[in-house]
Amino acid sequence: MTFAQTAHAEPMPARAAWPAMKLGFKGLCPACGEGKIFRSFLKVNDCCPACGEELHHHRADDAPPYFTILVVAHIIGAAMLWVEERNDALDIWIHVMLWPTLTLALVFLLLPKFKGALVAYQWALRMHGFETVPPKAPSLAKPQDAAK
Ligand SMILES: [Zn+2]
């Protein structure tokens, strides 16, 4: 018996990356699509509050800021050139107020979306610790039932 046979006796079911990434982009759990992936602005929930899927295995690291900078820089850079070409008599104070504000707004909008999509991508490809997580059935017990 080889190592590969002992390590993965049964192949894990494949997960579709694009649907998972779309859910992650919306901030939803890639497994069930109902629970929130974040517990705060950029903090990923340890487990999905709806289905209990473990999400703490992600290693997003520097990738979400990298993709955010890549996209925002191209949008803002192109917009700055476009506005300057259309109206080169625009006061400098307008540029000083407009471009940093738009840049920050886009960064705060896109950074959690890219991070959610990246965590979902890692989940779909069973990267890092996601490959060892056994599939879980959604819990049928509701928290308010336990209190009664
Ligand atoms: Zn879930």
- For residue range 61-98, list pLDDT tens digits in order: 899 999 999 999 999 999 999 999 998 888 999 999 99
DSSP letter assigned to residue 54: B
Entry pTM: 0.77
Separation of CA 26 and ligand 1 centre (Å): 13
Closest CA to 123 of 4, 33, 62: 33
Separation of CA 52 and ligand 1 centre (Å): 6
Question: Taking 80 as the threshold, does the pLDDT of residue 146 lie above it?
Answer: no
Phi, psi of 33 (to 5 degrees): 75, 10
Separation of CA 102 and ligand 1 centre (Å): 33
Mean pLDDT (whole number) for 34-49: 94
Separation of CA 17 and ligand 1 centre (Å): 15
Separation of CA 101 and ligand 1 centre (Å): 34
Helix, strand, coil percentages in the chain from 3-state DSSP, rounded to 5 = 55, 5, 40
DSSP letter assigned to residue 15: -
Give ∠ CA 62-134-123 in degrees, rounded to 5.
Answer: 25
Closest CA to 14 of 130, 143, 139: 130
Separation of CA 139 and ligand 1 centre (Å): 11
Separation of CA 9 and ligand 1 centre (Å): 26
Whether 16 and 33 have beta carbons less than 8 Å apart is answered as no
Mean pLDDT (whole number) for 13-34: 93
Mean pLDDT (whole number) for 39-63: 92
Question: Taking 70 as the threshold, does the pLDDT of residue 7 lie above it?
Answer: no
H/E segment holding residue 14? none
pLDDT of 135 reads: 52
Mean pLDDT (whole number) for 47-72: 93
pLDDT of 129 reads: 78
Express each pLDDT in 114-140 by its tens digit.
Answer: 999 999 999 998 888 777 645 554 544
Separation of CA 109 and ligand 1 centre (Å): 23
